[in-house]
Amino acid sequence: MGEYRDVAAKLREPSKSLRAAMPEAYSAFGALHQATTGDGAISAKTKELIALAISVVKQCDGCIATHAKAVAAQGATAEEVADALGVALLMDGGPATVYGPRAWAAFHEFAGIDL
């Protein structure tokens, strides 16, 4: 399947179960997600690049999988992703040298591009 597709798949059922246990909170989060990820003053693609960089800084593999998939779907180029990951490296230092490559690999996986 692929490492980051597996990460997303492993989170699917526990996420559904937790969503059922706290529907109001998840509904509110979903509304926030919808309100903030579409085109606005900056493009949806740029927002997903920001989210991917934040995923690296937060060291969250589930977030990396989600936002790498979204940024690939938004048509980001490898150069754009590398640029965003450079900002993550600037802001997070050493840990971004571990999670940045994870995000890079996840983007390539979802974009169907060989490393």
Q: In this predicted structure, what is the pLDDT of residue 43?
A: 98
Q: How does residue 1 score in pLDDT terms, banded at 50, 70 and 90?
A: low
In SS3 terms, 64-111 reads as HHHHHHHHHHCCCCHHHHHHHHHHHHHHHCCCHHHHHHHHHHHHHHHH
CB atoms within 10 A of CB 9: 12
The residue range of the domain holding 15 is: 3-111
Assign residue 85 the CATH number of its domain: 1.20.1290.10
Domain count, the chain: 1
Say how far apart CA 29 and CA 59 lie, in whole Å.
20
Q: What are 28-54's pLDDT values in tens digits?
A: 999 999 999 999 999 999 999 999 999
CB 109 within 8 A of CB 4: yes
Please say if the pLDDT value at position 97 is more than 80: yes
Q: Does pTM top 0.75 for this prediction?
A: yes
